[in-house]
Amino acid sequence: MRSTPTALSADVLVLGFGKGGKTAAHVLTDTGKRVVLVEQSENMYGGTCPNVGCVPTKMLVHYSNAKRLEDDAPEFFANSVAGVRALTAAFRAGNFEALDGKDTATVITGAARFLDAHTVGVGEGEDRITISAPTILINTGSEPIIPAIPGLADSRHLVTSTDLIQKDRLPSRLAVVGGGYLGLEFASIYRHFGSRVTVLEAAERLLPREDDDIARAATGILAGDGVQIVTGAEVVEVRDNGTTSTIRYEKDGQSLTVEAEAVLPATGRRAATSDLGLDAAGVRTTASGAIEVDEYLRTSRPHIFALGDVNGGEQFTYISLDDSRIVLDQLLGEGKRTTSDRVAVPHTLFITPPLATVGLTETQARALGHNIKVSRENVADIVAMPRAYTVEETRGLMKFVVDADTDLILGAALLTIDAQEIINTVALAIRHHITATELRDSIYTHPSSTEAFNEVFDKVLPE
C-alpha cells in the first residue's frame, strides 16, 4: 500500500466498503474525481456480502447440499469452511486492489469518526489521519442485534451469523432464536451439514408475511429435512452448562428447554452508526439508529448521503447497489432518480429449495380489492418442468397472483429449484407490464425451470 499523509482531502469521501459505496467510488474515480474510501477492517474489503453475508452463506448452501451420507460430517464441514475462506480471501484482495490500484483512489483501513460536517478522523493520537471532502457517502452497513435475553450476551456459546460461518467446527446442536430469513437459512444449512437444529420463533407460524399455503409448504420442507421448529416460543433465559447452553422458553403457558452447543440469535440487524460521531456532523438518525434520508438518499446535511443498510431500508446487497445509482444520479446525472422508482423488488430465502417472492401476496391483493385469479401448482406435478426431476428436487410449489381484468401479474411466490433465478424474470414482467398469457406462451430453453410458466398459468385455483 502507498504511504499515507496525516491529512487528506478528496472530492468524495466514502465511509464503508459495501456494495453501494464501492460501486459509487469506482464510477466517481473513472470520471476523474479524487476518492478516499475508509473501511474499518481489512477483513471487510468489499463489504458484508462477499465476506460474511451472501457469498459465504450461499457457498455453504452449495456445500451442504453436496454432502453424502458416507461423508464424515465434521471433516466435510471443516473442508467446506476452508473453501469458503479461500474464496472470500480472494474476493477481499480483488476488491482492495481494484479500487486502491486506481490513480485517483485511496483506501484507508481504520475506524472513522466525524470531527465536523466535512471531516473525519481515522485512528487515534499520532497515528490519526484526518480526511475532508465536500461530498461524503456513508455505507457502513449493519450489525447483528443481540436480544436482551438474560444470559445470552454473556454466553460462551453465543454465535452471531459472522461468527458461525468463520468457525470450522460443526456444532452437533444448534439453537436458532428467530425464524426470519437469516435464521431459516442457517437452520437449513447446518441441518444439511449434520447438526441437530432447533428454531425458536416467537410468532405463531414461520414467514408471517407470506400466504398460509406458502408458509406451510416451506415449513414442511424444513421439518422434513429434520429441522425442529417451535413457533409461539418466547425465549426467556440462556444458561451455560459447560460444553452446552440450556435455552429456556415459554410456549402455551409451559416452561420448556432445549440444549445446544451454539446459540444463534437471528432477530435482525441494526444500522452500524453508533461509533461514527454523527452528532458532530449534524446528521440525524431514527429511533433505531438508522440514518434519516430523503428519497434521494440525502441526509439532514445535503452533502452527506447514506447508502445500503445504514439508511434503514431493505437489507439486501442489490438495494445498496441501486442506492449507488440514485446517489450517482445526484452527483453526476440529472438528479431525478429516487427510491420511489423501485418497482417489483424480488427477495429470496435460500433454504433448499429456495423461496423467492415478488410483488403482492394473494392475501394482500384481496385486501387491496383487486379482482384476481390465482395460479398454483406443486413442482412435482409440473409436467413442463422436467428439470426438477433431473436434479432430483421436486419439492415445493409455484404460485402466481394475476389481475383477472388486465391479465397483469401482481405477485409470485416460487418455492422451487432455481427460484432465485426465475423470480427475476417475473419481476421484469411486472415492471414492464408483460401479461401472464405472454409469459405462458413464450419459448424457453429445455429442460429449464422457467418453462414451468408454459403450464402453471393454466392451473387456476377455483374461487
Could you tell me which residues come within 8 angstroms of residue 215 by beta carbon, excluding any fewer than 6 positions away?
205, 206, 207, 208
In order, the DSSP letters of 136-202 are EEE---EEE-----TTTTT-TTB--HHHHHH--SPPSEEEEE--SHHHHHHHHHHHHHT-EEEEEES
Nearest to 145, CA basis, from 47, 49, 271: 271
Residue 336 grid cell: 431525478
Please compute the mean of the pLDDT values over residues 83-96 and round it to a whole number: 92
Report d(CA 417, CA 283) in Å as an integer: 44
Judge whether 7-143+270-341 and 347-456 match in fold. no
Backbone phi, psi, residue 409, to 5°: -80, 130
- DSSP symbol at 381: G
Q: What is the pLDDT of residues 358-415, one digit of tens each?
A: 999 999 999 999 999 999 999 999 999 999 999 999 999 999 999 999 999 999 999 9
Chain CA centroid to CA 31, Å:
31
pLDDT score of 461 = 81
Query: Is residue 446 flagged as an active site residue?
Result: yes
pLDDT score of 3 = 57
1 pLDDT exceeds 70?
no
Backbone phi, psi, residue 386, to 5°: -65, -15
Is residue 122 within 8 A of residue 276, CB to CB? The reply is no
For domain 7-143+270-341, give the CATH number.
3.50.50.60
Percent of the residues in the chain that have a pLDDT greater than 70, as a whole number: 99
Q: What is the pLDDT of residues 95-104, one digit of tens each?
A: 989 999 999 9
Cross-strand pairs, 120: 114, 131
Please compute the mean of the pLDDT values over residues 274-295 and round it to a whole number: 97
Domain ranges (residues) in the chain: 7-143+270-341, 161-267, 347-456
Q: What is the pLDDT of residues 108-126, one digit of tens each?
A: 999 999 999 999 999 887 7
148 pLDDT exceeds 90?
yes
Q: What is the pLDDT of residues 6-32, one digit of tens each?
A: 899 999 999 999 999 999 999 999 999
Backbone phi, psi, residue 450, to 5°: -65, -30
Backbone phi, psi, residue 235, to 5°: -75, 125
Residue 90 grid cell: 480472494
In order, the DSSP letters of 67-130 are --TTS-HHHHHHHHHHHHHHHHHHHHHHHHHHHHTSTTEEEEES-EEEEETTEEEESSGGG-EE
pLDDT score of 126 = 79
Is residue 15 within 8 A of residue 112, CB to CB? The reply is yes
pLDDT score of 62 = 93
pTM (predicted TM-score): 0.93
Of the residues 192, 370, 432, 446, only one is catalytic, namely 446
- CATH class, domain 347-456, is alpha beta
Domain 161-267 coded CATH 3.30.70.360: no
Please compute the mean of the pLDDT values over residues 247-264 and round it to a whole number: 97
Nearest to 379, CA basis, from 389, 370, 369, 371: 389
2 pLDDT exceeds 80?
no
Is residue 135 within 8 A of residue 13, CB to CB? The reply is yes
Nearest to 52, CA basis, from 138, 163, 192: 163
Q: Rg of the chain's alpha carbons, rounded to an integer?
A: 24
